């Protein structure tokens, strides 16, 4: 069974396979991605129930802009709707919701809703969901480098003072006491990191499962967590 004391603190999920799932069922893109959003809510609830502290989900990558405008609009509308409903739902007490990624490219209304939700929940500490919107790992590291270079230029730090943690402080995921995912799960059979949290996933256990995201059940999630718990994490040290 699952051991609460061996639960990963921070789980990252690349939710993949929605379109294939929808096509199999002859669903519209809206129904398809709505099912993906519903699955996210289910898995977030399980995380909270089982003692995971942070869940980061890859909701929209910098590369997703190349999709047909109709689909991008559907996704943006859905993100806004889901965040607005979270904002209104006080039963989500204790849950913090924040985003990572370049929000300046998102529709104004979504930027506003996301900021309101982050502001309204920033003090909550029971559980933290981080939604990666227009996020890219290389872009994240690039913006962090620019911030550090700025500090050197302002004379706040010397070049020789630049350490791993100086850079980590500027990464977009600095907002959690568990900034680095312990476990990455990607659904749909794709075995790629797709420019997700490149720096932060340096030592994450990675699990690639065949199920399409909307089909990813409680039992699949429990199995993934059990696999994680059985792995001996070495962080590069000897056995």
Q: Which residues of this chain interact with ligand IPR, rule CB under 6 A?
A: 15-20, 36, 59-60, 64, 75, 188
CB of 76 to ligand IPR, least distance (A): 11
Angle at which helices 29-50 and 218-230 pack, to 10 degrees?
A: 50
Q: Return the beta strands (E) in the chain as ranges.
A: 10-14, 54-61, 95-100, 127-135, 183-186, 205-208
Nearer to Mg ion, 16 or 172 (CB): 16
Token readout for 163 is: 């350490």
16 labelled catalytic: yes
Q: Which residues bind Mg ion (CB under 5 A)?
A: 16
Token readout for 17 is: 């396979």
113 binds, among ligand IPR, Mg ion, none (CB under 5 to 8 A by kind): none
Given the residues 16, 140, 161, 215, select the one marked as catalytic. 16
Contacts of 36 (CB under 8 A, 6+ apart): 15, 18, 213, 214
Token readout for 103 is: 């929000």
114 binds, among Mg ion, ligand IPR, none (CB under 5 to 8 A by kind): none
77 binds, among Mg ion, ligand IPR, none (CB under 5 to 8 A by kind): none
Nearer to Mg ion, 171 or 184 (CB): 184
Catalytic residue numbers read: 16
């Amino acid at each position: 069974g699952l051991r609460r004391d061996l639960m990963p603190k921070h789980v990252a999920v690349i939710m993949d396979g929605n379109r294939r799932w929808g096509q199999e069922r002859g669903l519209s893109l809206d129904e398809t991605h709505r099912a993906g959003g519903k699955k996210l809510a289910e898995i977030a609830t399980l995380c909270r129930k089982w003692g995971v502290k942070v869940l980061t989900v890859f909701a929209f990558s910098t590369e997703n802009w190349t999709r047909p405008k109709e689909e991008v609009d559907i996704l943006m509308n859905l993100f806004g709707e889901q965040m607005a409903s979270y904002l209104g739902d006080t039963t989500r007490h204790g849950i913090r919701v924040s985003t990572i990624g370049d929000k300046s490219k998102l529709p104004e209304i979504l930027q506003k809703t996301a900021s309101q939700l982050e502001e309204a929940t920033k003090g909550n500490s029971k559980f933290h969901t981080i939604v990666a919107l227009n996020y890219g790992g290389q872009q994240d590291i690039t913006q962090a480098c620019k911030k550090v270079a700025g500090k050197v230029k302002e004379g706040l730090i010397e070049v020789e003072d630049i350490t791993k943690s100086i850079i980590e402080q500027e990464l977009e995921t600095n907002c959690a006491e568990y900034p680095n995912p312990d476990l990455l799960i990607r659904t749909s059979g794709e075995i790629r990191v797709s420019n997700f949290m490149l720096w932060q996933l340096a030592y994450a256990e990675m699990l690639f499962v065949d199920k399409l995201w909307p089909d990813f059940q409680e039992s699949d999630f429990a199995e993934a967590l059990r696999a994680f718990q059985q792995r001996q994490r070495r962080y590069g040290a000897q056995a």
